[in-house]
Structure 1
């Protein structure tokens, strides 16, 4: 099963230090070695939202209603089940501290 984990930044997260960089590098290396990590990356704070209604397509700046909420990064993982995805995300949250992450199953 594949899951997309996104990390939402509220703009109040302190700058990462050397320990966090080292911990994250070890985490990424571990998940890469086991084949669980398929892709990872940071996301630009700005984006565009496209909406279609009655054949009309509109675009607005986005992707979030609240400017303080920004999807800061993502990881695409492959695990046995949702419980395993949640546990990996728990490990990530413990490492990076306060904040929010979202896990969504990827189909196809």
Structure 2
């Protein structure tokens, strides 16, 4: 099972404050554990929302909204993509994570990644074949 693990932003991360050398070292050690265990598929920090944009869809209309975005607690400051056997295992791994913002309150959200089977019969054999081809192409590119 794959899980997206999102580190929720704080006022400090949205202000562009960088982690300390100590936290970077601790996170590096934690990431090494995840990689050695074969759990980590990807993981990155994200720039503040002021450097980002959103695209709002309304029917065929597209509206681009430049950051920053107001609701800091709803923003993501970084992420991991992990593969484990259960949500409980994902939780246990993330409980071992250093506090993403060293002091004070931080929050990590864990969400299971959907698989083709989760989409039901609407995800046709043709659509599955297309997805398989795209995944193979992506793997070859990287």
C-alpha contact 1:51 1:59 (8 A) present in aligned 2: yes
After superposition, the C-alpha distances for 1:4-57 in whole angstroms (9 at most, x for unaligned) are 111112124786444433322221111101110011111111221112112111
> Does 1 or 2 have the higher relative contact order (CA < 8 Å, sep 6+)?
1
Counterpart in 2 of 1:100? 107
Q: Deviations over 1:40-78 (max 9, x none)?
A: 111111221112112111111247442576421111100
Aligned 8 A contact 1:49 1:63 in 2: no
In the alignment, the residues of structure 1 paired with residue 75 and residue 29 of structure 2 have an alpha-carbon distance, to the nearest angstrom, of: 25
- Partner residue, 1:11: 11
For residues 53 and 78 of structure 1, the distance between their equivalents in structure 2, rounded to whole angstroms, comes to: 34
More helix by share: 2
Gapped regions of structure 1 (runs ≥ 5) = none
Number of positions where the alignment pairs a residue of Structure 1 with one of Structure 2: 106
Cα distance change on mapping 1:63 and 1:76 into 2, 3 Å: farther
Q: Where is the strand percentage greater, Structure 1 or Structure 2? A: 1
Greater C-alpha Rg = 2
